[in-house]
Each structure stands twice: as C-alpha cells, then as structure tokens.
Amino acid sequence: MMAESNQRSEGAASPLGPISAVVVNFEGEAYLEACIRSLQAQSLPIAELIVVENASTDGSLNLLNSQFRGVEILRMVENVGACTARNVGMRAAKYRWVLLVDNDVVLAEDTLEHLAAAVSAEDGAVMAQPRSLFKADPTRVHYDGGDFHYAGLISLHNFGAEVSALDSPPVEDIDVAISLCLLVDKKAVIEVGGFDESFFILFEDLDLSHRLRLAGHRILKVNSAAVLHDAGTAGISFREGTDYPGRRVYFHSRNRWLYMAKCHRLWTLLVSAPGLLVYEAAWVVFSAKQGHLGPWWRGKVAFFGRLPEVLRRRRQVQRGRKIGDRRLLVGGPLTLSPNLSSSGGLGLRMLDGALRAWWGLCRWFVV
C-alpha cells in the first residue's frame, strides 16, 4: 500500500512540496488501520508516513508489521506521551511540512489537499486544522478550533453544533488549533519550542497555539477539510457519560497552571486572579464530586515541583512576544462536554456568567 502511495506522490503537485505524515499511537489497535488507510488514500499523496509507537501493549505493533510494511515505525521504549511523540516524529520527518495525526482520526480523501491549499494561499500561516466531526455522529462538530479563555481554557467554536446549521467560510483564522490533526510548518513549530514535553498530554495544543500566536504566526481552520474523531485514549479521553477520568483531572490541574504561568503576562494573571480563583474553586468542587480530589492535589504539587523550569521557559516565551494579552484573550463562552453541561446546567451557566463579568471589568487593564 505504501509503495503505491509513494508512486502516486512522484507526479503530485503539492503547493508546499513533499509532505510527511506522523501518526502518534498508544494502545490504538482498534483505530490504527482505518487511520493509516485514510492517509494512504489522500488525493494529495503523502511522501513519507511515520508511526511513533508509544510502547503499546495491545496488538498495534503486530498490525503495523503485518499490514503496513512500508510505514516507518519509531518505537519508544516507554509511553513518553503525545507531546514527546509528536516532537520525535516531527524531527524525524524528512520534509518541512508535516501532517500530525492522532491514531483515532480518519481523514476524508481530500483533507490534506484542502489543508495544503489553504496554508499555501495565506501568508504567515504555519498551522492548519480541519473541521473535526464526531465519528459516532458525523452530523455534529467535535472540534472547530477556538479562542484563548483567560481562565487558561479553550473557548471552543461550534462545539456540538449541527454542521448543516453552520454558514462557515472555507478557511478562517483561529487562535487555538486542536492537535488531533494538524498540518504544521515544523520549522516554525520547533523555533517556538515544539510541543512542551512536560505536559505529557492535555493542554499541549492550547500551549503551542498560544506560543505561535504570541510570535506573530497565523493558525487556520479549514472548514472544507474534514476528519472523523473516534473515542480516544482510554483513561484520559472523555466523550460520553459523567465519570470524568482521574488521570484527566490530574493533567488538567497541573497543565492548566503550567500553561498560564508560561504564556500569560504576570499583570494579566494578577488582574484576572478573581476569575481564576472562581474557576479553580469550581474545579475543586467538581473533582471532589467525582472522587478525584487526590489527583487534583497531586497536579498542583507537580506544578510547583516544575516551577523553576516553567519560569525559565516563561522568560523565553515572553521575550519573543509580539502580541498583547488583551488582543488574544476572551472571557467566554466556557465550553464543556454536553454530557457535563446537561448534568450541571444552572451551576455552569452561573460560572460562565461570573467569568464573563469579571473579564468585562478587568480586560481594560490588560495589555
């Protein structure tokens, strides 16, 4: 299969030159075949396909070796997390433009073609994401990118919306791209530090998007490109039900603070502190109700353990800043999974209203 894809790429006219693809896999046997076959079927063929195999214990490696002999496999000796795996794949890729794909993503045949065309036509664009749809319900948007919420969150666009009800342009600028499927200029990404490997997983796309935007780069969302997003990594991903994983609570508790401490101005943190404390209090209550107060606390302890390293990285990020916080940050909406929103509707609306109200007051003091 890979040989066929390489033969097709010789005559392909990519506006960006040859493009590498990197698939990050951990325990993805159930998803991996559909993902790779969708990459090999792209109308704009991929010149190089790499799978970073993150020490899976399922049948992923056997599947790769038996079904995809032409695919390059980079085997990690342990699960190094999505951030490190993406960086390893990008650095190993031969070509400047790299399509980063999670193992539970299936691309439409023309996804890469639309992404490449959009990036090549827009000056200053270094990253583009397609429109992500729920695989279980392709009529609804899962991820359409988003904005930087001042509370250290992503204010998602069109989350859960019916695609047929949206009137979206083919291509639009966004501030936050979601890392499930990204076409990236690896030179620009590596120049701002790549994915922060201390995050392991969760908030890493928010953090990288913020650093790219602070450096003056553009990020695109290509609505004419589409992917289907499946169920994700067991024990971390959250799609259905109301049982929030304890590991996700830990990463949320730690990584949100890692991100804000690095990317937000100190003055912004000070004037927005009441809103940040309101959100944190709500998160503590939620974690306790889920029986995960321990993971929340361990996340905070881990944050302070990394503080010297965070402050060093903060200095690097802030030195390269070209855009102020007032231009980038927003006060809402607070976007949560529909299953959580339905179970705590009034409380969440009150929290969203409180966060919006404080930002409406303090944003005029932010620079």
Rounded average pLDDT over 153-166: 96
CA 207 to chain centre: 9
pLDDT at 160 exceeding the cut of 50:
yes
- CATH number assigned to the domain covering 2-229: 3.90.550.10
pLDDT of residue 341: 52
Q: What is the pLDDT averaged over residues 274-297? A: 96
Phi and psi (nearest 5°) for 55?
A: 60, 45
pLDDT at 212: 98
pLDDT tens by residue, 247-284:
999 999 999 999 999 999 999 999 999 999 999 999 99
Helix (H, G, I), strand (E, B) or coil at 11: coil
Tokens 């991929």 locate to: 46
Q: What is the pLDDT of residues 49-65, one digit of tens each?
A: 999 999 999 999 999 99
Instruction: Please tell me the predicted confidence (pLDDT) of residue 4.
Output: 37
Strand-pairing partners, residue 132, are 143, 227
Element (H, E) at 119: helix 111-121
Task: Give the C-alpha separation, 124 to 110, whole Å.
Answer: 23
Sequence ranges of the domains in the chain: 2-229, 246-365
pLDDT bin (cut points 50, 70, 90) of residue 335 is confident
Q: Which residues contact residue 51 at a Cβ distance below 8 angstroms, ignoring those fewer than 6 apart?
A: 22, 23, 25, 32, 36, 64, 68, 71, 72, 73, 74
pLDDT over 80 at 239, yes or no: no
Residue 188 predicted with pLDDT over 60? yes
Residue 126 has pLDDT above 50, yes or no: yes
Grade residue 241 by pLDDT with cuts at 50, 70 and 90. low
Length of the chain as a residue count? 367
Angle, alpha carbons 248-251-256 (nearest 5°): 120
CA separation for the pair 178, 193 (Å, rounded)? 17
What pTM did the predictor assign?
0.93
- CA dihedral sign of residues 183, 329, 164, 161: positive
Tell me the C-alpha distance between 137 and 149, whole Å.
Answer: 27
- Strands of 196-299, DSSP E: 218-229
**Distance from first CA to last CA of the chain, Å, rounded?**
53
